[in-house]
C-alpha cells in the first residue's frame, strides 16, 4: 500500500469514528468568515473575536475533487466581494436575529427563508447601487422586485444569457 492510499484509509477511519460531515453551504446562505490573523503588537491576542466581521452572502460555489468546495463571498452590507476564495473550514453559518418589528419583505425575506428561492422565474437585469449588486427579478406571480441575492440557478442562467 502506498502513502496516499494509507492516508485515504486513515481519513476514512477517522471520519467514520468521529462522524465528520463537511458543511455544504449554498448560494444565498449567510455566513461569517473566521479571521485568525492578529495584528503585530496587538494587546488582544487572547481576547480576539475570530468572527467579528460580517455577515457575508455566498455568491458562488466552486468545487474540485482535490480541495473540495470553496466559496466566493460578498459582504452583505457593502456588496464588496472578497478577493480570494474561502474554504468551508473558515465559514460559520449566520442566522439573523428576529425582532418583534421585523417587517422585511421581498427578497430580504427570501434570503432568510431559503426555500422560497423557487418563487422567482428569472432575472431581468442587474445594477450596482452604492457598491451593492442588485437584481431585478420577475417572480412567479408576475410581480418584479429588486433583490440583493438570487439563487445559484437563476444567476447561472442570467450570466449565460448575457454572455451570448
Same domain, 91 and 30: yes
| Per-residue pLDDT at 115 | 39
Longest CA span, the chain: 62
* Alpha helices, DSSP H, located in the chain: 3-18, 107-112, 152-163
Strands 68-75 and 86-87: antiparallel
Q: What CATH number should be reported for the domain holding residue 46?
A: 2.30.30
| Per-residue pLDDT at 47 | 62
Same domain, 71 and 39: yes
Q: Which three cell numbers stand for residue 48?
A: 480576539
Q: Which three cell numbers stand for residue 7?
A: 492516508
In which residue are the cell numbers 455568491 written?
59
User: How many domains would you assign to the chain?
Assistant: 2
| Per-residue pLDDT at 119 | 66
DSSP secondary-structure letter at 81?
B
Q: Tell me the C-alpha distance between 123 and 138, whole Å.
A: 6
Among 95, 112, 130, the domain-final residue is 95
| Per-residue pLDDT at 116 | 39
Q: Print the domain residue range for 116.
A: 99-164
DSSP reduced 3-state for 118: helix
| Per-residue pLDDT at 44 | 62
| Per-residue pLDDT at 111 | 44
Task: List, for the chain, all residue ranges whose pLDDT scores fall below the cut of 70.
Answer: 1, 43-48, 52, 67, 98-119, 163-164
Prediction pTM value: 0.50
Q: What CATH number should be reported for the domain holding residue 121?
A: 2.40.50
CB crowding 131-141: b at 16 or more within 10 Å, else e: eebbbebebee
| Per-residue pLDDT at 163 | 62
Amino acid at each position: 500500500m502506498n502513502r496516499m492510499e494509507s492516508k485515504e484509509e486513515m481519513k476514512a477511519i477517522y471520519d467514520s469514528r468521529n462522524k465528520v460531515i463537511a458543511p455544504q453551504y449554498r448560494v444565498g446562505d449567510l455566513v461569517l468568515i473566521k479571521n485568525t490573523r492578529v495584528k503585530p503588537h496587538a494587546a488582544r491576542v487572547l481576547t480576539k473575536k475570530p468572527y467579528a466581521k460580517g455577515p457575508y452572502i455566498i455568491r458562488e460555489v466552486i468545487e474540485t475533487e482535490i480541495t473540495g468546495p470553496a466559496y466566493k463571498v460578498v459582504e452583505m452590507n457593502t456588496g464588496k466581494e472578497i478577493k480570494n476564495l474561502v474554504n468551508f473550514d473558515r465559514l460559520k453559518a449566520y442566522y439573523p436575529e428576529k425582532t418583534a418589528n421585523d417587517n422585511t419583505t421581498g427578497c430580504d425575506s427570501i434570503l432568510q427563508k431559503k426555500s422560497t428561492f423557487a418563487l422567482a422565474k428569472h432575472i431581468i437585469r442587474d445594477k450596482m447601487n452604492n457598491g451593492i449588486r442588485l437584481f431585478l427579478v420577475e417572480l412567479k406571480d408576475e410581480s418584479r422586485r429588486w433583490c440583493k441575492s438570487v439563487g445559484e440557478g437563476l444567476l447561472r442562467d442570467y450570466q449565460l444569457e448575457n454572455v451570448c
